[in-house]
A and B are shown apart, each in its own frame.
Chain A
């Protein structure tokens, strides 16, 4: 069965330092992968998506993610954190048998300190 593992439940960084949020997936085919962000008591906003066109995917707000098939990873990075980046981040894979189903990781809470 497909699954998504977010390796860190919490990540803390200082403003201006790099951000790395780690995600591993399991899938028997080339998956569609997404990163969503959720600010407190808000809905989810799509940051970026991997669709096999390019392994390095650029998203909104300076975020990017690299698809590494050999490592089954799709880590999210940002060169310089901003206070407004503090939120919950979800790594998501599309179910290979049912495109209506998204499989969510358990989330990584990013804290940004001044």
Chain B
């Protein structure tokens, strides 16, 4: 099955710890994205990457870091500098060669800081 996988589904972290969320896709998409979702709000873009070894900040990049060493993988690290990290995190991907720019989403990771 082609798709996007995120792991783990639920993650608990103590304050002051860094934590890394996994995102893998086998759709052969060029671009990958990380979003944060809070209750009652739409999704907000954290980081995105169009090509291996390159990525750009989104609207709320502070306190987060990413890497793109492989086309299939785009892990997100939530650092201790992120003031309010408890949220639902969604990864997405897009085929840059497609005519329209819809994004395809993974199932999400719910991060809770204790």
A interface residues with partner B (beta carbon < 8 Å): 4, 9, 32, 34, 36, 41-46, 49, 51, 90, 94, 99-107
* CB-CB under 8 A for A51 and B43, given A43-B90, A43-B108: no
* CB-CB under 8 A for A107 and B42, given A32-B100, A43-B90, A100-B48: yes
* CB-CB under 8 A for A44 and B105, given A9-B40, A106-B42, A107-B42: yes
On chain B, the number of residues with a Cβ less than 8 Å from chain A's Cβ atoms is: 29
Contacts A/B (CB < 8 Å), 16 sampled = A9-B40, A43-B90, A43-B107, A44-B43, A46-B102, A51-B100, A90-B42, A94-B101, A100-B33, A100-B48, A100-B56, A100-B94, A100-B101, A101-B45, A104-B42, A107-B42
B62-102 CB mask vs A (1 if < 8 Å, else 0) is 00000000000000000000000000101010100001111
Q: Which residues of A contact B44 (CB under 8 A)?
A: 104
Are B101 and A99 in contact, CB atoms less than 8 angstroms apart?
Answer: yes
Are A106 and B41 in contact, CB atoms less than 8 angstroms apart?
Answer: yes
B16-53 residues with Cβ-Cβ distance < 8 A to A are: 31, 33, 40-45, 48, 50
Are B31 and A49 in contact, CB atoms less than 8 angstroms apart?
Answer: no
With CB as the reference atom, state the residue of chain B lying closest to A91. Answer: B42
Q: Which residues of B contact A34 (CB under 8 A)?
A: 102
Least distance between B57 CB and chain A CB atoms (Å): 11
* CB-CB under 8 A for A42 and B108, given A32-B100, A34-B102, A51-B99: yes
